């Protein structure tokens, strides 16, 4: 039973719904005949009888109201759109995933070396995300299947040449995925700035439609929220998504010696109709190798020029 408070004093003249009915949130459920007597206290106001709302749902809501401890919340347009896209991915792809524990100690050292200078000049913290994004852009050309889409009816796999990198951003209305277009031609500094602009745009509501269109590969960063290991879901129209979890110090054996290094789980979810497991693992290892490369370290020296 769900008790619905009357907007005025009076008696119930007619109940407009029956148990099990589905009604929009804004629809009336009863007719109240207002009382002529003034009510001076909320405690003195006569109450309409409770309406049995078991099975009654708000329009677009998937939960049921079974007792007074539950409430119905209508899906927002944004949440509905997210749900539709995720359902499409579930219905039209064959999802698989693989995970490696990546060594991010080289990135930790770069952040330690340049992080304070970067914060002073750029005004925000230097996180692992742009390093991983840059490594992904370097690795992707060697793994074109991760940038493809499959058309079973035509018997075709279409491989995209441009790397338009989606960056998943948490938002109170639902996860958003703005896109860094032509991310592969951006050096590390430019990519860092582009990602920051998108994050601020999502949170400030200043992005336009183009900023969320044309993605070819996505990175999600639940590690920033403290996740240990994640299982990401691909975006509609894409074949793969990489998840970066929390970067933490862990004891590992390096050259026969126990050492404490910064490590993180990286997971690649992919459409198994196009991408095989071996390809997915090879891609993740290629990303890890670039994170430790002299090339990336050289690019990081540009922090001094910001």
Active site residue 276: yes
Distances (CA, A) of 112 to 74, 119, 203, 276: 46, 11, 27, 37
- Annotated catalytic residue, options 52, 61, 181, 272: 272
DSSP for 168-215 reads -B--TT--B--EETTGGGS-HHHHHHHHHHHHHHHHHT---GGGGS--
Q: How would you classify the pairing of strands 30-34 and 165-167?
A: unpaired
Q: Could you confirm whether 290 is annotated as catalytic?
A: no
Of residues 27, 36, 276, 290, which has the active-site annotation? 276
**Alpha-carbon distance 76 to 125, whole Å?**
32
At residue 277, the 3 state secondary structure works out as helix
Closest to 174 measured CA to CA, from 140, 215, 202: 202
Q: Helices 129-139 and 105-122, interaxial angle, to 10°?
A: 120
Active site residues: 272, 276
């Amino acid at each position: 039973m769900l008790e619905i408070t009357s907007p005025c004093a009076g008696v119930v003249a007619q109940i407009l719904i029956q148990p099990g009915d589905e009604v929009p949130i804004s629809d009336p459920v009863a007719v109240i005949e207002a009382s002529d007597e003034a009510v001076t206290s909320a405690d003195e106001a006569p109450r309409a009888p409770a309406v049995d709302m078991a099975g009654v749902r708000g329009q677009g809501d998937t939960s049921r109201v079974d007792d007074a401890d539950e409430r119905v919340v209508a899906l927002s347009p944004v949440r509905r759109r997210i749900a539709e896209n995720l359902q499409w991915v579930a219905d039209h792809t064959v999802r698989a995933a693989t995970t490696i524990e990546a060594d991010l100690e080289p990135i930790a050292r770069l952040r330690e070396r340049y992080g304070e200078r970067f914060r002073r000049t750029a005004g925000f913290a230097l996180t692992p995300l742009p390093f991983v994004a840059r490594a992904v852009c370097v690795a992707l050309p060697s793994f074109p299947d991760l940038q493809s889409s499959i058309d079973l009816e035509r018997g075709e796999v279409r491989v995209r040449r441009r790397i338009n990198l989606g960056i998943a951003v948490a938002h109170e209305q639902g996860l958003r995925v703005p896109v860094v277009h032509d991310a592969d031609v951006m050096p590390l500094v430019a990519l860092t700035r582009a990602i920051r602009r998108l994050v601020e745009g999502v949170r400030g509501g200043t992005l336009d439609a183009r900023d969320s269109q044309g993605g070819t590969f996505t990175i999600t960063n639940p590690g920033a929220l403290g996740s240990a290991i994640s299982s990401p879901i691909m975006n509609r129209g894409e074949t793969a998504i990489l998840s970066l979890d929390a970067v933490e110090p862990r004891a590992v054996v390096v050259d026969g010696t126990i050492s404490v290094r910064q490590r993180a789980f990286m997971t690649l979810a992919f459409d198994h109709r196009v991408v095989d497991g071996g390809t997915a693992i090879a891609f993740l290892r290629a990303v890890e190798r670039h994170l430790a490369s002299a090339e990336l370290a050289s690019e990081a020296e540009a922090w001094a020029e910001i």
